[in-house]
């Protein structure tokens, strides 16, 4: 039996355990900043399958190492989730972790604790095979991604000095191989006016009216944004508007617009800000919010809400290794594509320039959606992919 067949056989043999691992994670609500209990659960699970180098860093990320080669491969899953939204939209209890009809059900099963469960099984397989190749494989279970993409990896690289040579992200790809994504940023426009009594609005300057005119200019700007053949078009939309006035019988003297901006290849924070400034009157300003929420360990690692675009070329050895891994396991070429949403790749590749690809269980259309569920078959295939990948890298990347 060749290595790929041996690993795939093991992944199938551990299918039930992988599903149960994921079910246990789903049953532990783990919103951003509230991940302590699920991190403990995952750490115990990694120890139970034979991992001996298991630690939690200063932010709260769990780092598990298998192998001691001179090169470093990081396989990453964020383990925080968004909330459930309107429970009336769910056909089952969001935190049930129920296993039925060939799926594990519940919030986080796709985005993205399914990848985390498959990583634990992959670590088990690598330990059983006594992996001793050129790579130290770091399985990272990271926190607060849903709140602030990549901040966990900025902390790992800049404070913990965990700097991998290569990165594999396990966000959902529907078992495709992904090699990039648009970047994103958030912006806040503050508009000032002058208050007066609502019975005579002509005496004041209504900040909402000023903001509304800016919002219409932003709508026009969206239509003019550039596009890329692979990553697609940049986008821009107003996602929130809030105002303030002395009373509900007064003209508002302050209004704020929150913007969601997706950045295609070639666009930057400064170019996006310049486009917005061109839409503003002198009474309005634009800024990028600063993330400064403490982690569950009480650590604050401030970061602007700017998350760079990234892309790895199709002929990069890392991409080719991913293709070869898939072909060895499943006998055909994978679908190579990109994410529509944002991932920790904004830090590993976008900011720090570390070659990064993605392969994950579950369909990304289920991310943040009601009735989230992941196929057990995907968990099996992902487990096998993560376990075989270091062996393929040993033969393909110098």
Catalytic residue among 35, 76, 80, 113: 80
CA nearest neighbour of 385 among 67, 134, 191, 122:
122
d(CA 394, CA 398): 8
What proportions of the chain, in percent to the nearest 5, are helix, strand and coil? 35, 25, 40
Supply the DSSP string of 300-349, one letter for each residue: ---EESEE--EE--TTSHHHHHHHHHHHHHHSSPPPEEEESS--THIIII
Check: CB of residue 134 under 8 Å from CB of residue 394. yes
d(CA 174, CA 186): 28
d(CA 238, CA 241): 8
d(CA 137, CA 152): 18
For residue 131, the number of C-alpha atoms closer than 13 Å in the C-beta half-sphere is: 30
Catalytic residue among 145, 149, 253, 269: 145
d(CA 325, CA 376): 20
Count of helix runs (H) and strand runs (E) in the chain: 10, 21
Q: Is 145 a catalytic residue?
A: yes
Widest Cα–Cα separation across the chain: 85
d(CA 129, CA 79): 26
CA nearest neighbour of 349 among 195, 231, 234:
231
DSSP H helical segments within the chain, as ranges? 3-13, 15-26, 36-48, 113-128, 151-158, 207-223, 269-277, 317-330, 345, 376-396
Locate 80 and state its tokens: 């925080």
d(CA 265, CA 286): 23
Instruction: Report, as residue numbers or ranges, the catalytic residues.
Output: 80, 145
């Amino acid at each position: 039996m060749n290595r790929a067949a041996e690993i795939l056989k093991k992944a199938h043999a551990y299918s039930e355990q992988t599903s149960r691992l994921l079910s246990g994670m789903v049953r532990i609500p783990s919103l951003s900043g509230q991940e302590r209990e699920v991190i403990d659960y995952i750490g115990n699970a990694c120890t139970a399958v034979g991992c001996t180098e298991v630690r939690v860093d200063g932010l709260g990320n769990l780092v598990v190492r298998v192998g001691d080669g001179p090169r470093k491969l990081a396989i990453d899953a964020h383990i925080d989730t968004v909330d459930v939204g309107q429970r009336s939209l769910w056909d089952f209890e969001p935190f049930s972790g129920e296993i039925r009809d060939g799926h594990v059900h519940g919030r986080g099963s796709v985005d993205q604790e399914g990848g985390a469960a498959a990583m634990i099984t992959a670590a088990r397989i690598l330990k059983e095979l006594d992996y001793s190749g050129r790579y130290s494989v770091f399985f990272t279970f990271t926190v607060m991604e849903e709140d602030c993409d990549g901040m966990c990896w900025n902390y790992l690289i800049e404070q913990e000095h965990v700097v991998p040579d290569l990165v594999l992200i396990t966000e959902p790809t529907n078992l495709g191989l992904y090699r990039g994504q648009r970047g994103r940023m958030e912006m806040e426009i503050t508009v000032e006016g002058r208050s007066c009594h609502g019975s005579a609005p002509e005496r004041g300057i209504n900040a909402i009216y000023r903001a509304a005119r800016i919002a219409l200019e932003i709508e026009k700007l969206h239509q003019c944004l550039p596009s890329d053949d692979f990553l697609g078009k940049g986008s821009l939309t107003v996602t929130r508007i809030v105002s303030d006035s002395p009373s509900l019988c007064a003209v508002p003297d302050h209004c704020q617009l929150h913007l969601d901006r997706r950045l295609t290849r070639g666009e930057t924070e400064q170019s996006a800000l310049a486009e917005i400034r061109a839409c503003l009157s002198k009474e309005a300003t634009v800024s990028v919010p600063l993330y400064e929420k403490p982690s569950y360990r009480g650590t604050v690692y401030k970061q602007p809400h700017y998350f760079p675009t990234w892309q790895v070329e199709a002929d990069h050895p890392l991409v080719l290794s991913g293709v070869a891994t898939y072909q060895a396991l499943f006998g055909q070429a994978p679908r190579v594509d990109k994410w529509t949403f944002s991932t920790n790749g904004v830090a590993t590749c976008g900011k720090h320039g570390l070659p990064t690809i993605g392969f994950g269980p579950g369909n990304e259309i289920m991310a943040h959606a009601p009735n989230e569920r992941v196929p057990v078959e995907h968990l099996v295939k992902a487990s096998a992919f993560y376990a075989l990948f270091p062996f393929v890298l040993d033969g393909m990347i110098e």
